[in-house]
Structure 1
Amino acid sequence: MSAPATLTDIPTLEVRHLRTHFDTRNGVLRAVDDVSFAVPRGRILGLVGESGSGKSVTGFSIMGLVDPPGHIAGGEILFQGRELTRMRPAELRQLQGNRIAMIFQDPMMTLNPVMRIDAQMIEAVRAHSKASHKQARELARDTLGMMGIPSPDERLLAYPHQLSGGMRQRVAIATAMLHRPDLIIADEPTTALDVTIQAQILSEVQTLARQHGTALIWITHDLSVVAGLADEVAVMYAGRIVEQGPVDDVLDHPLHPYTAGLIASLPSLNQRGQRLRQIPGMTPDLAALPPGCAFAARCPRASTVCGAAPAISTPAPLRQVRCFHPGQVAVSLEPA
């Protein structure tokens, strides 16, 4: 008889066959359609894809932040073995911002423009703990310092509008990290930052995941960020994960033609003076997806069999792909 699973054996997050739909005048928009993945303690999953692929809606679904006309139409979201979609709102609020945190692309989705930074961070600390005002302020100051923010005592006395855009984003990230959450969902939080600040934040986030066992989902369209940050990568297209596996394996030898197209379109892989390579065509309308493979109309490998919907297969160890014609393509992310 096998021993019962302990909390450390259970993935911090497990998403099973998640479906998030939006009811529109033009029909049902399947923003997330049969998405499954798991993120263990201390591991980082990069969730990548073009705009409109469903990656941000996946993050909002996990956080319970999908508003009408959107709704979770099926599947399970398990946080440390607990099913989030069936939790009472009060239970879910106890986890949000405490054990589960989200970092948004726009820091003003986190920061109140008419409150000082210290008031906002102290309020965030005391909402989920019995810390005194002094203890909460010290934690806020230390967390700002951890994010490499200079003169944290001065920053605490500032209002959001008195900070640069990059500084506001770093404060928003620090706020999400206040309780050392077990799971962080980051929705392209460093897109607007210069590369030096971005690299510093990525390093701090990576350290947090390793030292505190935090599971992290990093949502981005930037493959170079994923290459240096993530342990695994899941590539989304038209609401579905089309390829998943260890980050080095996927980026060096993509199996799905969409993944190969994304990597080939990177400027660093194009010769100077030549036109950038790109994936032909446009992403399909999620409210009117074609039958079969959603990528078939743009795919160089498409055949008649692609008129049916491909199932997920495992053509190599630790690799998953949703394609009838998977094939390894050797790619280097190093500049030429």
Structure 2
Amino acid sequence: MSLKVVDTKAQAVSHKRNPGFPLDLDWVERVRMNRSALERRAATIGTRRTVKKDYQLAWLLKAVSLIDLTTLNSDDTPGRVERLCAKARNPIRADLVEAMGVRHLGITPAAVCVYHNFVATAVRALEGTAIPVAAVSTAFPHGLTPLKIRLAEIEASVEDGAREIDIVIERGMVLNGDWRGLYDQVKAMRAACGEAHIKTILGTGELATLTNVAKASLVCMLAGADFIKTSTGKEKTNATLATSLAMIRMIRWFFEETGIEIGYKPAGGISKAKDALVYLALMKEELGARWLQPHLFRFGASSLLTDIERQIEHGVTGHYAADYRFAMA
């Protein structure tokens, strides 16, 4: 078996980082989202777009390359992080890679995401690879410590080698319509990141309305966010297709107005390969194939890789294996 899979690492991607823009409150106030329309649209994605056999395997390999392989547990240890990094180096069993004829692609996850305390551990464990370390900072998951402490945490993570920073916004600012306060905080966090890319976690399940989600997305993008992200994974409601549509359409509107491409990261609750395929179809339909690259789309996930690997084995051998056959941290 030999799959025709696009080697995204070999593609020359011209991507200009978001420089940030002045806060445009008139634009923010014009934003409106129709929840029922978004939910109707979201309900059709999985029913209208399916891929089978070798095409499905190729899409699953694409999904692997877009995962932020994550461990954010209160009982994390250096050993667990090192095991996760070992999995990131070889995310798919060698025999499956050989059977598909894709070893030359060197497929790895997009990043490894950990708490600040484990950034240095992950950087050492990934030495010699191109896999970046992402740190969740700014008092993850609540984001309610004093700003100077959150900024210091960002700077410490960057100093330890993090190349990406996932920050959390203060949800109360959105609920109170304090767009200037949100803009100023995200702008300060963007500055603290320096060359490290910043992903802003909105905590969408706690923002009450999809219009609030869309407005918060716009304010974060104006403040210089490289990515907008749904959730910490710790909320009762995490990534949904309707929420994703609201955020993706703000990304499209922002691109139409500024020419700047912003990344999107759904996180929390995406644990099945079939769900990943639906999100890939959604991104392709709404933003185009260009957005299906690690610098513009990520999955925030931990268990997703296990199910993808099971589906790949089924595609190669015709048989499903138990989860325990696929090593994770």
Structure with greater helix percent: 2
The two structures have a TM-score, normalised by structure 1, of 0.35
The two structures have a TM-score, normalised by structure 2, of 0.35
| Structure of greater Rg | 1
